[in-house]
Chains A and B, each alone.
Chain A
């Protein structure tokens, strides 16, 4: 199982605020990075993942199924993981918490996994290249904060030619593994961590869009000036 929240953050200059800040460029993503660096106490790691979403062919399985293949391109040797995202916890209790709790099964696999699933009768539904950075740390739970831009490929598997799906917007995802016995503690740890990020971004259950935080620009400016990171 895992707990998940997501949010979006601007990754380009917001010219509206430039006038108020003497031409200082504001990078909300950079500000988020500085904030996370301070909170986590660990260095960021690079993210470059080729994500292939496969769906079962028309006659396969009594119900359709979906699986994600993730190829980690950030390391010198690419490595593959396969992931199945299950249903979210339901019920009145689940609705009250602001974090999504869902089942998840993951496995490292050999590099012939794509050929394996194609042979089983799965078809490529879509593929993305996710690029950005990640912080992994312990704070009440094993938390992972990933900030990435999603990029689409003009040609099949052409990761070198990827272009952003939503230029100017990056996805922030916070996840933490959980088990049936401890998920409420993990939910509490994730929720509490999200509060630190509230000035910069809204974090909510995937699928529940909260948009961009109005105070983001001001918060970003404050973080950037405190850290002395200015670019002209």
Chain B
């Protein structure tokens, strides 16, 4: 989240990456890219949307290239499908993509952690945000790894403070149970996190 009056630039991303590499000693492990697509229903009569969901979110995750995830936040529903599902929705023409957000950047290995730092860029190419994804590899239980990840985030905040970045990172806290997801972490959890991240970012920008 940038400080008030500060324009987001790729310089901030470079600074964040520097933090991971120099201060924390992360080893660069490649690039990553996740795409979020906001769909809206195509209506025959614009005024009568009835109880159709206003928004359908599609997620293509960086490390799940064969899968696609659809989220209906209003219904707390997440559907896992093959990547061909995007083409299928396209054929139906009932929901059309309106906004595409690309999250892309570098990934790093830091001991038991895999860290991804990236920028959030809509199709208009204007930088909207910087995000970071931290994965604790040894555990799949959300409860068991909660403390470790919170500690990591605290260390990250301290590191970033020392660099005087013109902004601060906000921890995303989705409610996985709302979507019927369990304690065992899956790619569906990641998709929910991206959706929640965007909601929180947009709410923060509005405020």
Interface residues of A (CB under 8 A from B): 56-63, 65, 67, 82, 84, 86, 103, 105-110, 112-113, 115-116, 119-122
Contact = CB atoms under 8 A, between A and B. Distances in A.
B86 to A, nearest CB: 9
Given A60-B43, A65-B93, A65-B94, A119 B85 contact: no
Query: What 3 A-B pairs have minimum CB-CB distances, sorted nearest first?
Result: A61-B94, A107-B82, A107-B85
Most chain B beta-carbon contacts within 10 A, residue among A61, A62, A67, A113: A61
B79 A60 contact: no
A120 B49 contact: no
Nearest to B95: A120
Contacts of A107: 68, 81-85, 88
A46 B42 CA distance: 40
Interface string B171-199: 00000000010000000000000000000
Contacts of B83: 107
Contacts of B180: 112
Interface in B140-185: 180
Contacts of B85: 82, 107, 109
B93 A110 contact: no
Contacts of B44: 58-62
B81 A63 contact: no
Interface in B18-35: none
Nearest to A109: B81
Interface in B39-67: 41-45, 48-53, 56
Given A61-B93, A109-B81, A115-B75, 14 more contacts: A56-B94, A59-B49, A59-B52, A60-B42, A60-B43, A61-B92, A84-B91, A103-B91, A107-B68, A107-B84, A110-B81, A115-B77, A116-B77, A120-B95
B87 interface: yes
Contacts of A105: 84, 87-88, 91
Most chain A beta-carbon contacts within 10 A, residue among B50, B75, B81: B81
B191 to A, nearest CB: 12
Contact of A63 (B53, B88, B93, B95): B93
A109 B79 contact: yes
A63 B93 CA distance: 8
B85 to A, nearest CB: 4
B interface residue count range (under 10 / 10 to 19 / 20 to 34 / 35 or more): 20 to 34
A8 B50 CA distance: 43
B88 A84 contact: yes
A116 B70 contact: yes
16 contacts: A57-B52, A59-B44, A59-B48, A61-B92, A62-B44, A84-B92, A105-B88, A106-B88, A110-B79, A112-B180, A115-B77, A116-B77, A120-B41, A120-B72, A121-B50, A121-B52
Contact of B80 (A58, A110, A120, A121): A110
Given A82-B88, A86-B91, A106-B84, A116 B72 contact: yes
Contacts of B68: 107
A67 B89 CA distance: 10
Contacts of B94: 56, 60-61, 65, 120-122
B4 to A, nearest CB: 38
Contact of A119 (B42, B45, B72): B72
Contacts of A65: 91-94
A112 B43 contact: no
A119 B79 CA distance: 12
